[in-house]
C-alpha cells in the first residue's frame, strides 16, 4: 500500500531572497566539477553550498564538508533566509517548458512525503541500477543535515487526471514561488493545505505503485539511512519522518511528461572506419544511407525519420565526422532472440538502448559495459547540437578516426513501466526525464521527535 502525507516544506524566504534564479540549481547528478563554480559564485546562499557532492569535485570530499553543510543549513534557518511552513501541505508543482522541436508543454505534478518501502515489496519500483559510491556520499549528507535537499521524481497512473483536478481546484490564484531555470523553463509552486483535498489524494494514491523516474540513488539512500538508524538501536514509529522520503509525483498519462533521447558518442579504441563498421552491422540491420546537405541537415533528417517510427521499430542513426556520412539502422526481426536466446528478457530486448549496448557495442565491437565505464569510452548527450559539436571535436583530436555518434529515440514511458513491473534493470542513461526538478525550490527537514501528519 502506498501511503503519502503532507509535510512542512523548507523554502527560501522571498523577503530575504528576491531572485530565486540565483540560489536554485539543477539536481546534483547533472552538475560536474567544472560547472559547480558557476553556481557557487552566483550567490552565497546558492544550493550548491549545501548539496555539493563527490561528482562536483576532482578530489574526495572531506568529512568536514558534511558538517559544514549542516552548519550552513542551520545558519540559513536562523537568519530566516530559509523558512519552514507552519502547516503541513502537499505542493502543486507545474513546469512550463519548450520541448526540443519547439512544442510548448506543461508538466503537472505535486510534492509529498511517501512512506518508504523495500524495493522487493513492489510498492516503489525502480528501473535503474544504483552505485555504492554515490549512495555513500548522499547518506553522509542526509544523516548529518537531517534533511532532503532534492526530491525523487516518480510516476503513478491516473488516466482521468483526478489528482491534478483536485489539487488545482484547491490552489490559490498566485503561486507560492516562481522561477525560470537556465533553459527558460518556468517552475511554479503552490501550497495545498485543504484537508478534504489532501484526504482524497491520499485515498486515491493508496493502491497506486510508484515508478521511480529520476532519483534512484536518493531513494536507496533514504532506505539505507532508515536501516542504519535501526542498526544503532533506534526504534522508528510508523509516523517517524525517517520512515518517509520526499517525492515529486507526476501521472504517467500527463500530456506534459517528456522523456528525451540520450545520444551516445562512442570512442572505439584504435579507431574504426565507418564503412567497415557498416559492413559488420549488415547481418543484423537494414541499413540506409542518408546523404546530402549540411552536417546538421543530415542529423536532422535521421532524427526526423527515427521519430516517425518511434515505438514501432528498433531504429537508430550512426554518424562519423571523418567521413561525414550518416546511416539509419533498423534492426531485423528475430535478431536479438537468435543471438542472445533467453539471456536478455523480451522487455529489455525491445529497448533501442539495449540493442545498442548488447548487440552493437558488445557483440559487434567487443566493448563490454565494464570496459566502456573503466576506459570512459561513452559520452551521453541529450542535445543533438551538443552531440554534433562533440563528435567534430573528437574527430579533430583522435587519429585515425573519430568517435561514432549514435542517435537515439527516447525510451517510452510504457517501456519504463514494463521493465519496472518485471523487476528488470535498464542500461545506464536509458531515460532522460525533462525538465529536471530544481534543487532548492522546496526541501524536507527531518526532526526526530516530530510525527508525520496523517
- Taking only the tens place, the pLDDT of each residue in 411-454 is 999 999 999 999 999 987 889 999 999 999 999 999 999 999 88
Q: What is the pLDDT of residue 95?
A: 98
Sign of CA dihedral 12, 15, 20, 23: negative
Q: Is 42 exposed, middle or buried (CB count within 10 Å of its CB: 0-12, 13-18, 19+)?
A: middle
Mean pLDDT (whole number) for 119-148: 88
Q: What is the pLDDT of residue 286?
A: 96
**Which is nearest to 149 in space by CA: 227, 224, 221, 80?**
221
Give the pLDDT confidence of 49-64 residue by residue, as tens digits.
Answer: 999 765 555 556 667 8
**Which is nearest to 244 in space by CA: 22, 38, 454?**
454
Q: What is the pLDDT of residue 398?
A: 61
Which H or E element spans position 11?
strand 9-12
Q: Is the pLDDT of residue 8 over 80?
A: yes
Q: Is the pLDDT of residue 131 over 70?
A: yes
Q: Is 311 exposed, middle or buried (CB count within 10 Å of its CB: 0-12, 13-18, 19+)?
A: exposed
**Which is nearest to 399 in space by CA: 276, 274, 271?**
271
Task: Classify 306 as helix, strand or coil.
Answer: helix
% of the chain exceeding 70 in pLDDT: 94
Give the pLDDT confidence of 217-231 residue by residue, as tens digits.
Answer: 899 999 999 999 999
In contact, 260 and 434? CB cutoff 8 Å: yes
Q: Which residues are CB-neighbours of 346 under 8 A, at least 6 positions away?
A: none
Give the pLDDT confidence of 151-193 residue by residue, as tens digits.
Answer: 999 999 999 999 999 999 999 999 999 999 999 999 999 999 9
More confident residue, 211 or 370: 211
Q: How confident is the model at residue 310 (pLDDT cuts 50, 70, 90)?
A: confident
C-alpha cell at 386: 551538443
Q: Is the pLDDT of residue 292 over 80?
A: no
E-state strands within 183-281: 186-192, 210-214, 244-251, 258-259, 263-266
Buried/exposed code over 434-452 (b: 16+ C-beta within 10 A; e: otherwise) = bbbbbbbbbbbbbeeeeeb
Q: Is the pLDDT of residue 399 over 60?
A: no
Give the pLDDT confidence of 35-51 residue by residue, as tens digits.
Answer: 888 898 999 999 999 99
Amino acid at each position: 500500500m502506498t501511503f503519502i502525507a503532507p509535510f512542512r516544506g523548507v523554502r527560501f524566504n522571498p523577503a530575504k531572497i528576491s531572485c530565486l534564479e540565483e540560489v536554485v540549481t539543477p539536481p546534483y547528478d547533472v552538475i560536474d566539477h567544472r560547472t559547480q563554480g558557476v553556481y557557487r559564485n552566483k550567490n552565497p546562499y546558492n544550493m550548491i553550498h549545501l548539496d555539493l557532492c563527490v561528482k562536483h569535485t576532482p578530489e574526495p570530499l572531506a568529512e568536514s564538508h558534511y558538517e559544514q553543510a549542516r552548519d550552513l543549513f542551520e545558519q540559513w534557518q536562523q537568519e530566516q533566509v530559509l523558512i519552514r511552513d507552519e502547516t503541513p501541505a502537499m505542493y502543486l508543482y507545474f513546469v512550463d517548458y519548450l520541448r526540443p522541436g519547439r512544442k510548448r508543454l506543461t508538466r503537472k505534478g505535486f510534492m509529498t512525503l511517501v512512506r518508504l518501502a523495500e524495493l522487493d515489496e513492489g510498492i516503489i519500483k525502480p528501473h535503474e541500477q544504483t552505485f555504492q559510491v554515490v549512495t555513500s556520499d548522499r547518506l553522509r549528507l542526509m544523516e548529518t543535515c537531517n534533511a532532503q535537499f532534492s526530491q525523487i521524481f516518480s510516476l503513478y497512473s491516473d488516466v482521468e487526471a483526478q489528482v491534478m483536478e483536485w489539487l488545482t481546484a484547491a490552489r490559490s490564484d498566485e503561486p507560492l514561488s516562481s522561477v525560470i531555470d537556465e533553459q527558460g523553463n518556468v517552475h511554479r509552486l503552490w501550497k495545498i493545505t485543504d484537508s478534504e483535498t489532501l484526504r482524497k489524494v491520499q485515498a486515491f494514491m493508496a493502491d497506486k505503485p510508484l515508478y521511480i523516474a529520476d532519483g534512484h540513488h536518493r531513494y536507496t539512500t533514504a532506505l539505507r539511512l532508515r536501516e542504519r538508524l535501526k542498526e544503532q538501536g533506534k526504534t522508528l514509529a510508523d509516523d517517524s519522518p525517517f520512515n518517509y522520503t520526499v517525492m515529486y509525483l507526476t501521472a504517467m498519462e500527463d500530456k506534459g511528461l517528456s522523456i528525451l533521447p540520450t545520444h551516445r558518442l562512442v570512442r572505439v579504441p584504435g579507431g574504426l572506419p565507418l564503412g567497415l563498421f557498416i559492413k559488420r552491422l549488415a547481418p543484423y540491420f537494414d541499413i540506409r544511407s542518408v546523404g546530402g546537405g549540411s552536417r546538421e541537415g543530415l542529423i536532422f533528417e535521421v532524427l526526423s525519420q527515427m521519430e516517425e517510427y518511434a515505438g514501432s521499430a528498433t531504429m537508430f542513426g550512426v554518424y562519423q565526422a571523418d567521413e561525414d556520412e550518416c546511416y539509419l539502422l533498423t534492426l531485423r526481426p528475430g535478431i536479438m532472440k537468435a543471438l542472445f536466446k533467453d539471456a536478455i528478457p523480451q522487455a529489455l530486448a525491445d529497448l533501442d538502448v539495449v540493442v545498442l549496448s548488447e548487440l552493437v557495442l558488445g557483440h559487434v565491437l567487443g566493448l563490454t559495459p565494464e570496459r566502456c565505464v573503466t576506459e570512459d569510452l561513452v559520452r551521453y548527450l541529450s542535445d543533438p547540437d551538443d552531440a554534433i559539436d562533440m563528435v567534430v571535436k573528437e574527430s579533430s583530436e583522435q587519429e585515425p578516426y573519430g568517435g561514432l555518434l549514435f542517435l537515439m529515440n527516447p525510451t517510452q514511458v510504457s517501456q519504463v513501466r514494463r521493465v519496472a513491473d518485471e523487476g528488470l534493470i535498464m542500461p545506464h542513461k536509458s531515460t532522460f526525464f525533462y525538465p529536471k526538478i530544481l534543487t532548492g525550490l522546496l526541501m524536507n527537514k527531518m526532526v526526530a521527535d516530530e510525527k508525520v501528519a496523517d
